[in-house]
Amino acid sequence: MRKSVVSFVCIIFLASFTPAQSQTQNDPLGRKGSPITTSVPFLLIAPDSRIGGMGETGAAVPDDANAQHWNPAKYLFSEKSFGLSFSYSPWLAGLGVNDIHLLYLSSYYHVTDMDAISFSLRFFSMGEMELTGPTGEHIKYEKPNEFAIDAAYSRMLMQNATNRLSMAVTGRFIYSKLSSYTNSGGSSDDIKAGVSGAADVSLFYTKKLQAGKLYEHNFNLGLNISNIGAKISYSSSLKRDFLPANFRLGIAYEMHFDKYNKLLFAFDINKLLVTSPPIYQRDSMNAIVLGPDGEPIIEGRGRDPYKTTAAAAVFTSWGDAPNGFAEEMKEFILNVGMEYAYNNLLFVRAGFFHEAQNKGNRRYMTFGAGIKYSIFAIDAAYILPVSSRNNPLEHTLRFSISFELIPKKK
């Protein structure tokens, strides 16, 4: 029974697609702002242990075997021409659950010095859930799951002795099956799998700085606009909900003290390109007031998330917070991280993830370590929360294994 309850809670957390759920997210006074909810948020989970141990600062960190999630334009700067990586992240392991997890597989190949292709598969299993009837009778067991398949093409746009710039475009297929429940007789209320598609556009720039007293140091800049695609629904009778479209901008600074010691600092900012929850008009009993068309009445500023298209939200989400500029700034997520490397063999990492209290309140420290030998690398990451908001990955280890097989042609 506990497994069923935990899985059900996980589904509610991951699939916020009903209007009532979005409405109840608002503060009763309607003045503090609310977290932004989307469908298929598993697309935003940090899939690998290297970047996961650095506070999830992946936009501009170079030599990344899992760049498909963070910024596939980085693949052109990998040390090898072919790479393959597998990551495993347990979910809610602190509650004794052992069948909820995220699996991530990514691969890249340099077609030429100027072109690369890459692929990834992301699979999220939500364990087993028991479906019961109105009186509590058993109906059946479900195993909800979601997956996404990506393919990307990267191209070098500029390359000289000190400056290099690359660009990548990604296509994504998304499938989310939360339940296959069917009403007796069949109706438009039947729950179905959600299917959608999305695209990413990313850039990566690196500049070799004058060494001075250092052996070498570099400045990197990365940008990834991801999950831009059609809204998704799990039933023909439900309104369609946003994908987790996201803006990620990052910088990274590499300091090579000598041939053996390197220190990397990284900083990312993120923002969902999704309509902010509006403030709804409420009556004396604090119930949401409905208009003549049966839709909630928005009070003052704010946009109706169900009447705003996904394309429009990419632009309007920068200024649609109902409480103005102060709330809009709280929608940015801040990430900082660092990595120390010895002889490109041993790695130690740390970072911090910060989200505003009334926008989700996720705040946690991350730690990681890795070892790389020849073509093989293994990384581990650990999350230590510092806020009251529990993290499904807290106090658990997650692992990544990667192989880079083909040396670059000189």
- pLDDT tens for residues 147-161? 999 999 999 999 988
d(CA 72, CA 122): 15
Cα dihedral value 10, 104, 247, 308, nearest 10: -50
d(CA 156, CA 113): 8
Lowest mean pLDDT among 64-68, 313-317, 384-388: 384-388
Structure tokens at 276: 């902010």
Which phi and psi (to 5°) does residue 215 adopt?
-65, -40
Q: Looking at residue 361, what is its pLDDT?
A: 87
Q: Which residues contact 332 (CB under 8 A, 6 or more apart)?
A: 269, 270, 271
* pLDDT beyond 70 at 21: no
* pLDDT beyond 60 at 67: yes
Q: Looking at residue 357, what is its pLDDT?
A: 87
Using alpha carbons, select from 91, 96, 185, 75 the residue that is nearest to residue 146.
91
pLDDT (mean) for 344-365: 93
Q: How many helices (H) and strands (E) does the chain have?
A: 6, 16
* pLDDT beyond 70 at 314: yes
Per the CB < 8 A criterion, the answer to whether 114 and 156 are in contact is: yes
d(CA 245, CA 263): 32
Q: Looking at residue 16, what is its pLDDT?
A: 34
Q: Which residues contact 133 (CB under 8 A, 6 or more apart)?
A: 139
d(CA 104, CA 102): 7
Residue written as token pair 């606009």: 225
- pLDDT confidence bin for 214, thresholds 50/70/90: confident
* pLDDT beyond 50 at 81: yes
* Domain boundary assignment for the chain: 2-407
Per the CB < 8 A criterion, the answer to whether 345 and 369 are in contact is: no
* The CATH fold of domain 2-407: Porin (2.40.160)
Q: Looking at residue 180, what is its pLDDT?
A: 66
Mapped onto helix, strand or coil, the DSSP state of residue 80 is strand
pLDDT (mean) for 243-258: 95
- pLDDT confidence bin for 1, thresholds 50/70/90: very low
Q: Looking at residue 389, what is its pLDDT?
A: 66
- How many residues in the chain? 410
* pLDDT beyond 70 at 33: no
Around 248, how many Cα atoms within 13 Å sit in the side-chain half-sphere? 31
Q: Looking at residue 393, what is its pLDDT?
A: 77
What's the Cα-to-Cα distance from 240 to each of 149, 236, 268, rounded to whole Å?
Answer: 21, 9, 30
* pLDDT beyond 50 at 10: no
* pLDDT beyond 70 at 188: no
